[in-house]
Structures are given as structure tokens and as C-alpha cells.
Structure 1
Amino acid sequence: MIQAHNVETMTPSPLVTRRAALAAGLATGLAAAALPGSGFSAARTGDPRVQTKAGPVVGVREQAISVFKGLRYGAPTKRFQPPEPPTPWRDAVPATTFGAASPQRGSEPNQSEDCLFLNVWTPATDAGRRPVMVYIHGGAYATGSGSHPLYDGSRLAEREDVVVVTLNHRLNVFGYAYLARLASGFEDSGNVGQLDLLLALRWVQDNITAFGGDPDRVMLFGQSGGGAKIATLMATPAAQGLFHRAATMSGQQVTASGPINATTRATVWLKALGLTPDRAAEAATLPVERLLEAQTAEDPILGFGGLYFGPVLDFRTLPRHPFYPDAAPLGRSIPMIIGNTREETLGFMGDDPRNIGLTWDSLAERLTPGVMRIDITPEAVIAGYRAMHPDWSPDQVLIAATTAGRSWRGAVIEAEERARAGAPAWVYQLDYPGTMPSGRKGAFHTADIPLVFDNVTLSESRVNGPGAQTVSDAMRKAFVALARGGDPNHSGLPRWDRYVLPRRQTMLFDVTSQMADDPRGDERQFFSAIPYIQPGT
């Protein structure tokens, strides 16, 4: 299972381990090979060769799919500065190994500040003009890469005749440390991770036709932090025309980080580096390891966890919040799927030993501000749930309340704001359970990833019980239908109605999927009385 960050706070966690199993064999990437002057001849007859705008690349034909890994979409990065296109090359470059991931804490292998790479899976490098599905990885804004095994696009591309793209971009302080108010020359530093995504999408526009894709049918989909990045792009003027549909999976961004809060966090980070604010520019010269370690300082806004670094309302790249005070007008014309999982926070705290033997008294101790992420007393939460669901155990209330109060809230707000604006949105809730490492079952955070990618049979998938393939077929085809025609309906599902108020129509994905109006409406109404400000922003 991918142990993801909580997208609502996006604070570093020592529990995150995304690809330890892939460490062997990924130590050498395309970082050097993709630079000009790297000669290469295809090792096998029939391996696909494509001429990109920057130069020729050679991938690998794997059964019915052509795979290109580690394609360079940006030049080696300059720290805290906007990305630049790659220097063109003349000789063919091998695209057979994943490129480096952004520097980060945790066990992600093959890290480098030179990390602007993407990967393509395509049925054929022909004139097919297939729908293009660009996946933006999770791990909050702090960790991850586009090369986790569960993101392998082979089955999705082959079974649905689409082109799949995954990518890497700058994360954490390298992508989102806001130094603009502390030092000159760093005006864009708070959003360079988003600017990387824009450069990758421009690469798709310029090159995807040569890989058999249609640049006029580009869909972004992403889980957790990936969904939040997509929501942010929907409020970004420079993203206009670069994508045409969107699907977010347990990832939302109602508000971006305000510039004053972002500056406060940067100041705390600099202090942990031993720098005063007037020496902020020196952070551009310090070792990577020091920059990452300083992120562990306590967040001065939240009062718990490591420092949050995410998109900033800088009035340059990002001129407004994505879904406050309403759905950003720039994104309203984009058909959108908004989804969550029923037991979202089971993925964060389901195997926590502190939950063993919970009583109503000890539950109150567990429902701290750091767990609930909203300003409400644990006594009020417990009383509310005991009235709504008197048969539930303390453990059930813990998972349900933290899911509804902190994880689900952003998705509800986004769906409701799009409904108010008349913008097309289809909402889902995943009910089909996966299995936690402890053996506990539930529809936890990340459970929808292998279902959408059709990778339920991989060893890394913990969503592989009876009927998993049936659920995967339903979800995969819905995402592909949106990518292909702008509407997720297909013959394998009941009619999926758009989300409108006050009905709040929601597709419940399970072995037998069904529509429901306002599922968990009692919990939604309970928490709607509490003002919601996205934690971290």
C-alpha cells in the first residue's frame, strides 16, 4: 500500500515509504543521458523511436504497449527559480529508465534536484490521436514520484486505447518555499512546483501527438496531493487550454497558502537552517540534506507537525484561491470527477496502536486538534456521533469523524461550489474495501489508485479481494469515458448523474455500484456548522 501524506495538512511524515521495492535498478536515470550529445542506438529491433521537439528518444516495446521512461521535459533546475525547457539534443536518447525524483524525506530512491522527467505508455506511436490521461502523483506536496508500481500505465493504456503519462516535479521546499518577501530574485519560489507541472503540460501539448495522443483531449487525474495540485491548476491562468478534463481522488485544495502564512513558515524554516530572514538567499546554496531536515520544525500556523509547503497565493502564478469564495471561473468549463473513499483516515491511523481498545473516554483523548484539524471539542464530536449512530463503537467514530470532519470536507465544498456555479461535476465515494497491513479492512486513503489504473493484481496493491476487478472495470472505464468524451457514464454503470443541490447525487463504487443522494448526509450536516479553513493554508 502507498502510505500517503494527509493532503489536508501535507506535512512530512516518517511513515511514508513509496517505492522501497524499486530501489534496485533505479539508481541510474536519464538525468545525464537526456542531455545533448548522448548517443544511443536501439538495442532491439522494433523498439519505438519518437522525434520530440527537443530531440529523438527511444523507448521499449513491451507486448502491446510502447513505454518511454524518464523523458526530460525541463532543464536541470535552478533552485527556487522557474523551470526552463531542456536544451535540445541531436542524438537519440534512451527512454528506458525512470528519471530522478525530487529531493524529499523518506525512502524514495534516485533523488536529485534535476528531476523534471515524465513517462509515457502508449498503444502505438502513430496518428491515433487517443485521449491522454496525465496522472499527478500524491504524497501531498512533500514526497512521491510518478514511477510507483501502482502508477504503471500499461494495462490502462492497452485495455482502453489511451495514452498515459506520469511525471515528477519539485516538491516540499524545493517547489514551494516562499521567499519572495524575504529576498529579491525569488518572486516565483512559492509556486515553482506548480510551474514545473505547467511546463510538463506544455510538453504534452507540443509532443503527445507523436506518441499517438490527442493534445485536445488531455485529462488530468491525481490522488491525494495530486488531486490538490489539479484543483490549484484549475485556478491558474497559465494552465488555460493545457488540459480539458479533470478527476481528483481524495485530493482537494479549497484555499492556497496565504502569502503572510507562507512567509512565516519560510522564516521558521530559515531559523532551523541557522539563517535570519535577511540571509534567505543563502538557502539557495546550502546542501539538500540540510534543507530537508529543517522542514521538521514545528509548523507555526498549525501548531503541530512539520512545516507545510504548498501552493501560495502569490498573485503571480496563482491570483486567487481555487475554491474560495467560489469555484474558480477558469476551471468551471472543465468536466470534473471529484471522489473520496468512505474510510479515508483509516489509511493514516487505522493501524495506530493507540487505537487498540478505545473507550469513549480514551476516544476524547484521541480527537485532538491535530487529529480533527478543525476547531471543535472532542466532546461535541462524540455526542454528535452517539446521537447519529448509537450502535457505533469508539473506533468506528474515530475513523468516521476524522474522515468526515477533515478529509471529506474539502471534497464536499468543491462539489457544492461547482454545483452552485453550474459547472459539471460527477462525485463518487469508494465503498469497496482494501486490506490494511494489520488485516483490517476498509475503503482507506489510496484505495482507489490500483482500481483506476487496473493494477489490482500487482503485489503492491492492497485492494485485491473478491470483486476487485469488477470495481476496477467500473472505475477505470468511467475515468476513460471522461477523458474520451467529457462524461464518465458507460454501459457498465448505473446512470451517473451530475452533482446538483440539494440532491448531491453520488456514485458509490462497490462490487455492485449504485447511485445515492447525499450519502452520509447526517455527518455532512453535522460538520457544516463548523467553519472550514483548509489546514496548512
Structure 2
Amino acid sequence: MSAGKGFSRRAVMGGGAALVSAPLLARVGDPKVGRFTGLREQGVQAFKGIRYGRAARFERAVAEPAGAATKAQGFAAIAPQRGNPDEAQAEDCLFLNVWTPDAHSKARRAVMVYFHGGAYSNGTVTDPLTHGARLAAQGDVVVVTVNHRLNALGYAWLKPFGSRFADSGNLGQLDLILALEWVRDNIAAFGGDPAQVMVFGQSGGGAKIATLMAMPAAKGLFHAAATMSGQQVVASGPMNAWKRTQALFAALKLQPGDVETLRTMPLARIVEALGATDPVMGSGPVYFGPVLDMTHLPRHPFWPDAPSQSHHIPMILGNTREETRAFIDPRGAKLQGLDWSNLAMRIAPEIKIDLDVHWVVAQYRAQYPQWTPAQVFYAATTAGRSWPGQVIEADARAKAGAGATWVYQLDRTSPVDPLRGAAHTDDIPYVFGTLDAPGSMSGTDARARATRDAMVRAFTGLAKTGKPGLADWTPYALPNRATLVVDDGAFAVVSDPRRWERELWSIAPYVQPGS
């Protein structure tokens, strides 16, 4: 967004001329933090494009010291990636954005820090769905959104090349930790309380949070967490991570040991090579994500159990009922000609649990004889790909007696495109309050607004008090697995609502790309 989009313009007729008002400015001035000039946006103060760090390629970022006056009125460049080709991208991408009802050091509002989705390869917080003004205003919280290094630039495993690259494999995670340290040290000047910081994220953003919960350097930097369709059970082991680095070298036609050329080559070549086939999963693009390096990440995020350093952190975990309708188009080639004869073979490449797909289809047909092939396809691909991580994490926390955990399931079908069902990303506009933003599938009717109001209360309640702001939402515990089912403006706590599918898919291990 350009700074101009944040202007409040008013034409005043007089003397035969139209006058345009100046932008409504917002300011922060603190000698320990710096001086920032933002804009007033939708009833709150917005500060966009605040630098929190600097980094050389494949090196750990360093904090940005408080400096001269900064104009924080427009989003900065996003991380280099194959996605979002219409946005400005740059390696210099360590910037965050703040929306606050009142940039006053004594306000001490709860802080909600958002990490974007896109796995670890793509994504941005400049998406209008994740602009923080409405959440800040409606929830009376300070909202922070963070960009950081992605894909090979943030997660390539280069440690075998020597101590210079000792932090590689987790640089993107360390960027997020640096951003949280910025929040700890600076957010009071923007009206936030550094002792009340909640992290939340959708898809890859949720996975990043799950990983942070097992990283010692993140301890104490956040006090509540929420993941939306995003889990990380295991990280990439160093041997698999090395295979992926070698695949990148091969795609770039580099000699196996030529890390210096990788460090200095044009960025566009690296981005192009990200489309290489992943040597572990056997499909593309090549996966780069957190690495079990035994230094920054000394254990898998949620295997074999929930990380003890985060047991005390209250947590919301959520998924949508038909996740895969978002990235397997109901109108696309994979669904063309779908019938009972080819259903099993079309499910097979989409799932991350190794079961006999013909047997799986037979089980679904026996359990749900009224379902169509398309209904079985989306149920099976969701339950065998996108949902198991949440079950594993929620169960692990329950078994460990960790701090209270709450689970939700979004069932509300999109009124904008009913074929979409309740798909991946569809909970974002409800949580951010951005129902009418470009890309929202929520609609703006009364039921959409009721869903938004409840989700905003739930998330901001967790940020403020450590409990969701919905009194009837029962914590998740075994064996009941209480789950808040969010439907068309209605909410019900249901015990283990997808028990049959959960039990079917738990017969075999869940394999994430990092495995």
C-alpha cells in the first residue's frame, strides 16, 4: 500500500477552488525507541514499514538501533519469493507494521503479533485481509504484523560449509525472534504492554509459532499463542535439509562446494531455482523450513511430545472443515471427470499419511453412503493432509498437562463461493475483521458479522486474559476433545466432532515435508 492510500481527503468548495486536506498523521517520539510518523487509518494509528533488523545473505540478522526520525506510512518490500509477483520484493525485508488505538506509553494494551502464511516459502503481511486496523479498533489491542526471510534465504541448511553459516537453517525463525525482541523493547511507546504479547498466525504462520514454542531463544517473548490451520510437528532433519541444499545447488548448476557463488549470485537466479523438485518428498517446489540444528532448535516442535518450555502458554488451535478446497480448485483439472473409479488415485498424491487409498475410499463410502466422490475427495485430503498436525499438537499438550488449550473448527461455508465450502484461509477475515477486504470469502451479511465478532472476542480475550473471550468455550482435554464448531453465525462446543475420521487417519504416521 502506498502512503497515499492512508490519506483522509476532503474536498472543500470555496472561492471557486477545491481544497484537499493534509493526511491525518500519527506520531511516536521516544528517545529509546525513535521518532515515527505514521497515519491515522480507520480510527486507529498506523505505522507501516518499521525496520526491526538488517541482515547479509545467509547470516543472522542484527537489531536496528533507535535512530533518526522515520516516516512509517507505507509497507516496505516483502521477502523474495516465487509468489506475489506484483509486489516489490527485496532481500532487505526485515520490517514490521503496527496499528494501535493510542500510541501512548501508559496505555498498556495487549499486543497481538501476526506471522503470515505461505508455508516457509511465500507470503506477506501486506495482504489486505491481514491489515490490522479493524482488529486493533474492535478488539482494543495493538496489532503488529511481521515480514521475514523465507525459502532458501531464510532456511537453507549451509552449516556443513563451516562456522560462518552456523545459524543457517533457522534464519527465518531467528528473524521472528528478533521482531519479538523489538516488540518487547519498543511496543510500550506505541501503547502496547510487553508483558501481554500474543503471537498468532495462519497456515505457515501457525507452523512458525509451533516451532518457536520449542526454540529456547523465544522463551519469554510471548505469553499466548494461536494457530490457524498451521502446525509443525517435526522440523527438517539435517540430512534431509542437506539433500535440499544439494538440490538447490543442482538447479543453479553450481559445483557442490561453491557456496561463495550462492552467497553472491543475483537474487533472481535463486528465486527461479526454488521451483526444483524436492528430493525428499519427490515433488516440487523444494521445501525449505526449520532445521533440527541442536542449537537454535534442539528438539522437534511437537514430537515426541509438547515442548516443556511452552507448557504454560495458553493456546488456541484451529482448522477449517474443508481445508483443501482452497488449493485444489473444485473447478480445476484435478476434479474434472472425478468419479468412483478414479477417486482413490486422485486422493493418493494429496495426502501425507501412507494408507491404502482404495481402502480409505471404501471406508468413507461405508460411513457416508450419501456423499459424492467430490465430498469424499475433500474430506479425505483434508483429514489426511491438513488436519492431523492440529490433532497431534492438541493431544500432545493435553497429555502433558500443558496450559489451557482451546480448539476450533470453522464449518461456515463461504457465501461468496459455495463450492469453496469452509476452506483454508477462510478464518482470516473473521479474526482480523476484514470481511470486505479484497480476497475475503466471508461475505458481509449479519451472520458473517456475528462470526467476526465472536472470533475477535475469542482471540483478543486470549491476548488480554489468557482465556478466549467466549465464556462457553470449553478447554480441550482427553478423551472428550472439546471443539468449538463455528458455523453460519452459530457456535457449539462439540466433543470430538470428527472422531471417525481422526481414528481412521491415526492408523498410520503423519509425514510432514520436514520429515
* Short-chain TM bin: over 0.9
SS in structure 2 opposite 1:349? coil
> Which structure 1 residue ranges, 5 or more long, are not aligned?
1-21, 27-42
Residue 258 of structure 2 aligns with which residue?
279
Map residues 60-139 of structure 1 onto 2, 5 A cutoff: 60-75=39-54, 77-90=55-68, 92-106=69-83, 107-126=85-104, 127-139=106-118
Gap change, CA 1:377 and 1:52, over 3 Å in 2? farther
Amino acid in structure 1 at the alignment position of 2:71: P
Amino acid at match of 2:384: G
Which residue matches 1:334? 313
User: Can you list the C-alpha shifts for 1:348-377, whole angstroms capped at 9, x where unaligned?
Assistant: 113323313421112122122x31122122
Q: Which residue of 209, 219, 227 corresponds with 2:188?
A: 209
Separation (CA, whole Å) in 1 of partners of 2:285 and 2:439? 28
SS where residue 166 of structure 1 aligns?
strand
Instruction: Spell out, residue by residue over 1:130-162, the C-alpha distance to the aligned partner (whole angstroms, 9 max, x if none).
Output: 000001000110111111101111111111210
Q: 1:48 aligns with which of 6, 27, 39?
A: 27
Displacement after TM superposition at 1:436 (Å): 6.8
What SS does the aligned partner of 2:26 have? coil
* 1:393 alignment partner AA: T
1:305-320 → structure 2 map (5 Å cutoff):
305-320=284-299
The 1:226–1:97 alpha-carbon spacing in structure 2 relative to 1, beyond 3 Å, is same
- The more displaced of 524-533 and 219-228 is 524-533
Q: C-alpha distance in 1, partners of 2:448/2:441?
A: 10
Letter in 1 for 2:271: L
Deviation at 1:271?
1.3
**Which residue among 385, 400, 404 is the counterpart of 2:379?**
400
Question: Which residue identity lines up with residue 473 of structure 2 in the other structure?
Answer: W
Cα distance, 1:490 vs structure 2: 2.8
Distance in 2, Cα, partners of 1:160 & 1:505: 25
* Conserved 8 A contact 1:104-1:143: yes
Q: Quick check: 1:427 aligned with 2:407?
A: yes
Residue among 323, 339, 346 paired with 2:302: 323
Counterpart position of 2:459? 479
Counterpart of 1:355 in structure 2 is 335
Task: Confirm or deny: 8 A CA contact 1:419 1:501 kept in the other structure.
Answer: yes
> Which residue does 1:35 correspond to in 2?
none
2-structure distance, mates of 1:254, 1:168: 23
Deviation at 1:380, TM superposition (A): 1.5
Q: 1-side partners of 2:31 and 2:42: how far apart?
A: 23
Q: Is the 8 A contact 2:486 2:492 kept in 1?
A: yes
- Which SS does the other structure have where 1:141 is aligned? coil
CA distance in 1, matches of 2:214, 2:64: 26
Partner of 1:149: 128
**Amino acid in the other structure paired with 2:345:** E
Q: Is contact 1:302–1:536 with CA below 8 Å preserved after alignment? A: no
The offset of 1:489, in angstroms, is 3.7
**Cα separation, 1, equivalents of 2:355 and 2:42:** 55
SS at match of 1:429: strand
Code of the residue aligned with 1:144 in structure 2: it is G
Distance 1:285 1:247, change over 3 A: same
In structure 1, the residue matched to 2:511 is 533
Residue 509 (str. 1) matches residue 486 (str. 2) = yes
- 1:5 aligned residue: none
For 1:404-415, what aligned pairs fall within 5 Å after superposition?
A: 404-415=383-394
Give the letter aligned to residue 312 of structure 2.
S
Q: Could you say what secondary structure the match of 2:63 adopts?
A: coil
Aligned counterparts of 1:174 and 1:210: Cα–Cα separation in 2: 32
1:185 deviates by 1.1
Moved more, 457-466 or 111-120: 457-466
Distance 2:91 2:420 in 1: 38
CA contact (8 A) 2:180 2:221 kept: yes
Change (3 A) 1:311 1:331: same
**Aligned CA-pair RMSD:** 1.7
**TM-score, normalised relative to structure 1:** 0.89
CA distance in 1 between counterparts of 2:507 and 2:39 reads: 55
| Counterpart Cα distance in 1 of 2:228 and 2:143 | 17
Give the counterpart of 2:430 among 451, 457, 460: 451
Cα deviation 1:475-520 (Å, max 9, x = unaligned): 11000000000001435xxx11111111000000121100100011
Q: Which amino acid aligns with 1:402?
A: T
Q: 2:433 is aligned with what amino acid? A: D
Report the AA paired with residue 529 of structure 1.
I
Give, in whole Å, the separation in 1 of the partners of 2:412 and 2:336: 24
Deviation by residue 1:41-97 (Cα, 9 ceiling, x = unmatched): xx757532333645311111235211000001002x20010001125423x110001
